[in-house]
């Protein structure tokens, strides 16, 4: 008897594995979903530096210093290109969010900061990435401010600025003679301060060469109006350590949907093609034929889950917090979804019914259960409604051992919820079959 059962299971697994579309939906599609969603959610959770294309049309030391400061900023990824066209092409290809153009007149304008000038920059941005453009603008202002403070601490530049100011009529500056005199006094004082600091720095530098050592000498360029103390928030146990820890259970949802549909469809195909009738004419009971289908479905569900979990751990860095609870959870899920498949097969017996209504029911339940949008991102009402989906409980049972952790009773409760799904599905299957028998 067991030989016949094994032969039937082997036959069902062969049929499933040789059906390309069923194989893709049960084995390949879940993996693609898990990896794709993992990459997308991972990118959303931890954005990288802002990619910017930079064109330097200037040739002075101030432009070089400004560009050097931009390149040194960890929040930016600056790619220098030689022409505007090339830079714009990069924005169009979404390789960066904006082009920053340092114009030819940058140095001369930067020299005249204290006489009403400003550092000219041109930014051509991708309008769909407004958040990144806002961040870029803030970064440009920050780097510009640092460059300004450096110029205030440089005696030679202050001297040049003072000379420029004296040569410029007050009317051109939009100030009165008195205000211009006050600015010149301020520049003179700043220049003297800068010279004194530079002399002190030179002496310290000589002593350092003599082996006396030297402490850091604060320059005006190091002036920061706001000092930000930044540190990482302690890991929240309610947050997954990686996006793949969330998306691989999502992948399992789609694998479960694929297995259930493959099983339901195979039973309908057997009915419509007469092979089920032939099996029933063999020395087998109908229960045995159904048991073999269920065993094949159980095996497929379990293999699919094990494959996804092994890949999650070995290739995507997911580290289960309670690995010992993974196998019981996967076995419980396999039992539950075998029963779900039986229930749907009992409810929709015709080929059209199983492929149409059955597929729709499974698809809706999978979406509602978190197969597409993780439960954490669902609106509260939808998250509550997801309780009717067996897929939601499968995700809960897998997420516990994968990253949520929690006490043993809470894990057992999650597995219990999955087994309750199995019981409900079995009851639905029995009711549907007895109703059909009585109707016949």
Partner 1 sequence: MLTLREVSKCYGTIRAVDRVSLRVSAGEVVGLLGPNGAGKSTTVALVTGLLRPDTGSVTIGAGGDPSNAAVRKAIGFAPQELALYDTLTAAETVTLYARLYGAFRSRRQVLEALDMVGLATRADERVGGYSGGMKRRLNLAVALVHEPPLLVLDEPTAGVDPQSRAHVRGIIRARAASGCAVLLTTHDMEEAEKLSDRIALMDHGTVQAEGTVDELVAMHGSGSSRAARGLESVLLKLTGRELRE
Residues that bind partner 1 (CB under 8 A): 3-4, 7-8, 11, 14-15, 18-19, 273-275, 277-285
Half-sphere exposure at residue 55, Cβ-oriented, CA atoms within 13 angstroms: 21
> Which of residues 19 and 198 has its CB atom nearest to partner 1 in the complex?
19
Q: Contact 328/50 with Cβ under 8 angstroms?
A: no
> Which of residues 292 and 299 has its CB atom nearest to partner 1 in the complex?
292
Q: Contact 400/332 with Cβ under 8 angstroms?
A: no
> Which of residues 299 and 389 has its CB atom nearest to partner 1 in the complex?
299
DSSP for residue 388: G
Helix residue spans in 73-176 (DSSP H): 84-92, 106-111, 130-152, 155-167, 170-173
Q: Given its phi and psi angles, is residue 116 left (phi above 0), alpha (psi -120 to 50 degrees) or beta?
A: left
- Least spacing, CB of residue 14 vs partner 1, in Å: 6
> Which of residues 8 and 318 has its CB atom nearest to partner 1 in the complex?
8
Q: Helix 286-315 vs helix 29-45: angle between axes, to the nearest 10 degrees?
A: 40
- Least spacing, CB of residue 436 vs partner 1, in Å: 15
Cα angle: 52, vertex 149, 198; to 5 degrees: 125
> Which of residues 202 and 278 has its CB atom nearest to partner 1 in the complex?
278
- Least spacing, CB of residue 346 vs partner 1, in Å: 20
> Which of residues 15 and 109 has its CB atom nearest to partner 1 in the complex?
15
- Least spacing, CB of residue 20 vs partner 1, in Å: 10
Helix residue spans in 348-389 (DSSP H): 351-353, 359-366, 380-385
Q: Contact 147/72 with Cβ under 8 angstroms?
A: no
- Least spacing, CB of residue 126 vs partner 1, in Å: 50
- Least spacing, CB of residue 6 vs partner 1, in Å: 8
Q: Contact 367/285 with Cβ under 8 angstroms?
A: no
């Amino acid at each position: 008897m067991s030989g016949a059962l094994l032969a039937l299971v082997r036959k069902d697994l062969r049929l499933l594995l040789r059906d390309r579309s069923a194989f893709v939906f049960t084995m390949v599609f879940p993996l693609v979903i898990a990896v794709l969603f993992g990459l997308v959610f991972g990118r959303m959770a931890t954005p990288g530096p802002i990619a910017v294309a930079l064109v330097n049309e200037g040739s002075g030391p101030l432009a070089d210093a400004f560009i050097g400061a931009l390149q040194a900023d960890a929040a930016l990824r600056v790619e220098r290109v030689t022409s505007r066209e090339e830079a714009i092409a990069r924005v169009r290809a979404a390789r960066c969010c904006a082009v920053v153009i340092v114009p030819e007149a940058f140095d001369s304008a930067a020299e005249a900061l204290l006489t009403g000038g400003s550092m000219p920059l041109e930014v051509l941005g991708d309008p769909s990435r407004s958040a990144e453009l806002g961040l870029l603008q803030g970064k440009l202002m920050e780097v510009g401010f640092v460059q300004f403070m450096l110029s205030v601490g440089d005696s030679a530049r202050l001297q040049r600025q003072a000379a420029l100011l004296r040569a410029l009529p007050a009317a051109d500056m939009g100030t009165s003679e008195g205000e211009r005199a006050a600015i010149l006094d301020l520049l003179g004082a700043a220049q003297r301060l800068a010279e004194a600091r530079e002399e002190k720095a030179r002496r310290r530098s000589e002593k350092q060469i003599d082996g006396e050592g030297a402490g850091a000498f604060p320059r005006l360029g190091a002036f920061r109006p706001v000092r930000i103390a930044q540190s990482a928030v302690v890991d929240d146990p309610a947050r997954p350590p990686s996006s793949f820890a969330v998306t691989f259970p999502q992948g399992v949802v789609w694998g479960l949907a694929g297995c259930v549909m493959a099983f339901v469809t195979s039973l309908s195909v057997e009915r419509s093609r007469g092979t089920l009738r032939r099996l029933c004419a063999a020395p087998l009971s109908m229960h045995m034929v159904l048991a073999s289908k269920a065993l094949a479905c159980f095996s497929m569900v379990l293999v699919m889950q094990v494959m996804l979990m092994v890949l999650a751990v070995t290739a995507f860095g997911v580290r289960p917090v309670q690995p010992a609870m993974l196998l019981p959870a996967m076995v419980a899920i396999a039992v539950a979804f075998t029963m779900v498949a039986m229930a749907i097969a009992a409810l929709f017996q015709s080929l059209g019914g199983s492929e149409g209504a059955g597929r729709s029911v499974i698809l809706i339940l999978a979406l509602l259960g978190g197969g597409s949008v993780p439960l954490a991102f669902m609106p509260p009402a939808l998250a509550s409604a997801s309780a009717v989906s067996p897929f939601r409980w499968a995700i809960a049972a897998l997420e516990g051992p994968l990253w949520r952790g929690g006490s043993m009773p809470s894990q057992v409760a999650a597995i219990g919820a999955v087994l309750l799904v199995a019981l409900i599905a079995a009851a639905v299957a029995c009711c549907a079959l007895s109703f059909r028998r009585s109707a016949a």
